[in-house]
Structure 1
Amino acid sequence: MLEVKVAWFLVLCLVILANCINVLGQNQPRITNNFSPARIPIADLEDLNLTCTGVSSSDPTPTWKKDGKHVSVNTSISIENGQTSTGIPTSTLIWRKVPLEASGMYTCQFAGVGEDTEEIYIMKAETVNVQVSPFSAVNLTCTVFNWQLYEGPQFYKNNTLLDANNNNYEQSDEITTLNRGLSQGKVHSFKILNATKYDGGKYTCMVTVRYGKNNGNTEHLRSDFTLTVSESSDVTRGGGISWQKTHITSFFIISLLSQALGYLIL
C-alpha cells in the first residue's frame, strides 16, 4: 500500500512540475517596432511605430507607459488597437516626428497577463543629400578620433544592416590624423562600387563608444546620408558632410564622399 501511495505522490509531483513548465514556457506579450535592429538609435523627426501583440484571444486591451507613466494621446501620438488573423489583440503606438525627449523605456502591459518593454533612443542626426550618376562609386566613411574603446561602425540602408559580403560592396579601415597630428583615429570606409537606382535610399553610419569609469558609459553616434542615383548624367559629382560630436577630448566625425566613375574624390 505504501508503494502505491508513493507512486501516486510521484505522479502528482510530475503533473505539477509539467504545469509549472508549461506556464513558464508560455509566450509573453512582445513589442516590435519599425526599425531593424530594434535598438538602432532613431533620428529625431522620424516616425516611431511600436506594436505590441498579446498571447491569446482572451487578453484584454493593453496599456502603454513611457518611463512608468501612461502615454497620453495627442495630435502627435495615437494608439491603434486591433487583432491578428487569429484574434489575438494588438496595439500600435504611433509617434509622428519624434522629438529628442521621446527617448526612454516603453512598456506594453496586458492586465493579468504580462508585459514587455523596449528601450528607444532618439538622437540628432545630420543628413546630407547626394545625387550621383548610374554606376558611380560611392564612399561612406566614418572616422573615429581618440575613443579608446568603441564598437562598429555599422552601416545601414533604410534601417537594415548592410551585408559587407555583397560583391558590390567593399569595406576597409585605415589610420589617419586630424589637425596635423593632434589626434589619431581610424577611418572606416564602406564603398558601393557601382551604384544603380536600386542603391538609392537612406544610409546610416553608427558607432557605439564607451567611456567613463571602467568604460561603463555608452553613447551612440549616428549620421544619415540620403543617396539618389539619377538616370541623368548631368548631376553633382560629389558632396559631403562632416559631423562632429565632442566628449572631453574625444571626437567622432562622419563624412560622406561620392564620386562619379573616372573622377578623383575631392
Structure 2
Amino acid sequence: MASFFEHGIPDMIKTTSIEKVVAPVITHMCHLVLICESGEGSEEFSELEGVAEGVAKASKNMAAVASRLAAESDDDIMREEMDPVVASMKLSGQHVLLTAQKLSIQPHIANHREELITSTQNVLLGLLKILLLEDDATVRKIVTAGHWLQDCLSQLEAAPNIPALLRAFQGFSEALLLLNNLVENRAKDLRDPGQQENLSRSLETLKKCVSMLHTAMCTTIKHPQSEQAQAAKKYIVEQVDSTIMELITTLKSNCHGSFLSSSGCYIDKLQGLLQLLDNPKGKAHRK
C-alpha cells in the first residue's frame, strides 16, 4: 500500500481553500478505516457499508463539480488533464463501496480490509488531484497577467513620443490593476506566511515604481541625449521587470514548511489523520 507521505501531501496543500476541503474528507475516511480495522462483527462494523456509500456519493458529486469547472474554464491544460482524473475519482469511489460490501459478506478476510484502505486512499488522492489541477489553473492565470504586465512594460520602454507613452501607460495600468487584484486574492488564500509576505512585498514595490517609471519615460523622450535620464530609465525598467519575475517565482514555489499562523495547528491535525489513515493498525497498537 502506497504511503500518503510518498506523495508529499501536506506540502502540496498550499492554500487554506484546499485544506478546508481535504481535512474533513480525511476525517470521514479515517472513520471508515477505523470501523474496518476494529469492527470484527461489532455494531460499528454494521455501519461500514453506509459510510462507504457516503464516500462513493461524495466522490461522484466531486467528479461532477470538477467536470463542470473544467468545461467552463478557458484553461486548456486543466480541461485536458481533468477528464482522466475525474474518471479515476468516480471509479475509486465505487471501488470503496464494492470493497465494503465484500467485507460485509466476509468480514474476517484481511485482503478485503487492505483493499478498502487502499481504495480509500485513492479517493483522497483523486480529490487532491482535482483541487490541485484547479489551483494550478489559478496560478497560471496570475502568471499570464504577470507576463502581460511585462509586455506592457516593453511597450512603455519603446514609446517614441508622449502620446504613444500615454497610450502605453493606460495598458500598463490596466495590467497592473489586474495583477494586483489576482495576487492579493492569492496571498489571502496561501497558508505559508513567507509566501504571503513575498507577494505583498512585490506588489508594494511595483506600486512604488509607477511614479518613477512615468517620470523616467517622459524625461528620456524629452531629453533623448541625457545619459542620466537613460540610466534612470534602465534602472526602473529592470526594477519593475525583476519584481514581476520574483512575484512569478513566488507563485510557482512550494510552501516553505514552517507555518507560523493559526493554520499550523490545523495542518498538524491533518498530518496526524494522514498517518492514521496510512497505518491504522500501527497507531492502534501504540495506544
Q: TM-score interval w.r.t. the shorter chain?
A: under 0.3
Identify the structure with bigger relative contact order (alpha carbons < 8 Å, sequence gap 6+).
Answer: 2
Q: Which structure carries more strand by proportion?
A: 1
TM-score (ref. length: structure 2): 0.23
